[in-house]
Structure 1
Amino acid sequence: MLKTTYLLVLALLLAVGAHAQGVLTFDKELHDFGNVPEGTMATHEFRFKNTGNQPIVVAHVQASCGCTTPEWTQTPVLPGKSGVIKAVYSSAGRPGVFNKTITVTSNATEASKVLTIKGTVLTKDELKKNLTPAQLAQSPRLVLDRAVHDFGKMEAGQQLTARFTVRNTGKSDLVLGALSSGCYCVGIKSVPAPIKPGQSAVIELIYSQRKLGAMTDEVVIASNDLSGDARLTLKANVVKSLQAANMLKEGEAAVPFK
């Protein structure tokens, strides 16, 4: 009898141990953005809760395409606590319907979970057709403090920063989107949060041109301003080197390389 009771208790403990695992429970597994203005970054946070009895660690999150950038809670999520999986879809140059998946890998009971985002990217002309004059009047307006920045003389491959002030003179939040240029020499440090009506923000562009000579590069900054994307120009006189060793000699005199 005692042996039977011991075996029964052992079996129960093993059964409990086998079921000791975290459970990943999402508030929803599909998000429909609806209509998305082309050029903006469509962002959604999928929230989840650990409804199991052991901590959950999200090991990896993989999007089905490079147009979607995921972020996630990196620390262990204890039982009863919550975390997020953030999906950011870049709509720049992608008009039309989209349907993308994000695969979440963790140590939960369901090791692999698939989330979905979908929507329709509309060009600004398409958006305008669906809005009344009153709605158009409420849209945001992007105004730059200047349209041109001249770096002057710079060394090939050198990284320089140009700071521009963006002001929203419209009547709704201004959302900045992707940056594009005819060369691979321009980047942005970070995209500001949505800019409230009447407010301003600073954007920092990183310029690293390797071609020599007088360079002029146009940069386009997408946003939800229905009047059009912002365009600015970066200029520079790119030389091989700015080091003092690069001197040209005229007779006995040394003059800076120009």
Structure 2
Amino acid sequence: MIRKLYSLIVLSLLLTSFSANAQGELKFEKETHDFGTIAEGVQATYEFKVKNVGNQPVVIANVQPSCGCTTPDWTKDPILPGKTGVIKAMYNSTGRPGPFHKSITVTSNAATPSQVIYIKGEVGPKDVKTSYTQEQKANSPRLAVGTTSYNFGKLEKGQKAVAKFKIKNTGRQDLVVQGIKSSCNCVSYKVSEPALKAGQQAFLELTYVPSMLKEQNEVVHIISNDIIMPDLKLTLKANVVENLATKNMLREGSQPVPFR
């Protein structure tokens, strides 16, 4: 009886130990990203890569920045052991000149439930210009694009549309798209590769949500670490019309009703 009780105690301790050790753990590729100097008005973006080095799936429950100037997005699906997720941080530099250093708190069910990552940099004038040597220019990343415009044709006001551009790094160092600028603030972006090696190609997606009617030509500035052409201009064209659901309504009294 005593031997059986002893065996049960040992088994219980082993199970408790196994349960304590069976847990996910997040490890960031790097915990701080320095944007360097960016021009005011740029939406600077960086994707932090994070790997689950534990033995159980990890779910990121929340990502909380230290200020409203940083907009985060993250992998919503469980990150399986050995797999990688991303946390995307976007810093809006409009009206925020000077240095910045912001924290982003990541909450999950990992062994370390709360972890902090950082973005920093300095917001310079809108027309930041720097002198470079010929050697620096020769070794610079270079952003090349197949076409500089995209015509959506007819779009409804408020309709979300995506333009896809093929880009290539024709330079010698890694190319990073750091952000975009547009006068309408109605364009967001996504790059299929966070950093392009020399000679590598990728896709740049611009998501456009028009808010003005008639013919629109939205100029989007692509900001990168290409020191020769750090501000590449792309144009989005569209004939923006009223929302068809609104257009096909008749007002009877004060309440709109559809055609019958």
TM exceeds 0.5? yes
Instruction: Establish whether residue 168 from structure 1 lines up as the match of residue 188 from structure 2.
Output: no
The residue number in structure 1 matching 2:181 is 180
Instruction: Establish whether residue 217 from structure 1 lines up as the match of residue 218 from structure 2.
Output: yes
Map 1:179-218 → 2, pairs under 5 A: 179-188=180-189, 190-193=190-193, 194-198=195-199, 200-218=201-219
Distance 1:32 1:196, change over 3 A: closer
Provide TM-score, normalisation by structure 1.
0.65
Per-residue deviation at 1:59?
Answer: 2.8
Q: Is the 8 A contact 2:166 2:201 kept in 1?
A: yes
Q: Gapped runs of 5+ residues in structure 1?
A: 247-258
Per-residue deviation at 1:167?
Answer: 4.1
Q: Which stretch of structure 1 is more off in the superposition, 219-228 or 33-42?
A: 33-42
Q: Is the 8 A contact 1:215 1:236 kept in 2?
A: yes
Q: Is the 8 A contact 2:44 2:180 kept in 1?
A: no
The residue number in structure 2 matching 1:105 is 108
Which amino acid is the alignment partner of residue 138 of structure 2?
A
Map 1:149-168 → 2, pairs under 5 A: 149-151=150-152, 153-168=154-169
Q: Gapped runs of 5+ residues in structure 2?
A: 249-260
The residue number in structure 1 matching 2:16 is 18
Q: Secondary structure at the match of 1:17?
A: helix
Distance 1:48 1:123, change over 3 A: farther
Q: Secondary structure at the match of 1:9?
A: helix
Which amino acid is the alignment partner of residue 10 of structure 2?
L
Q: Is the 8 A contact 2:59 2:77 kept in 1?
A: no
The residue number in structure 2 matching 1:256 is none
Q: State the number of aligned residues.
A: 231
Q: Secondary structure at the match of 1:67?
A: strand
Q: Secondary structure at the match of 1:58?
A: coil
Distance 1:212 1:83, change over 3 A: closer
Which amino acid is the alignment partner of residue 171 of structure 2?
G
- Larger of the two Rg values belongs to structure: 1
Match of 1:42 among 39, 46, 54: 46
Q: Secondary structure at the match of 2:5?
A: helix
> 1:46, 1:167 → 2: CA distance?
26
Aligned CA-pair RMSD: 4.0
> 1:35, 1:242 → 2: CA distance?
43
Q: Is the 8 A contact 1:29 1:115 kept in 2?
A: no
The residue number in structure 2 matching 1:232 is 234
Distance 1:70 1:156, change over 3 A: closer
Distance 1:112 1:140, change over 3 A: same
Per-residue deviation at 1:58?
Answer: 1.4
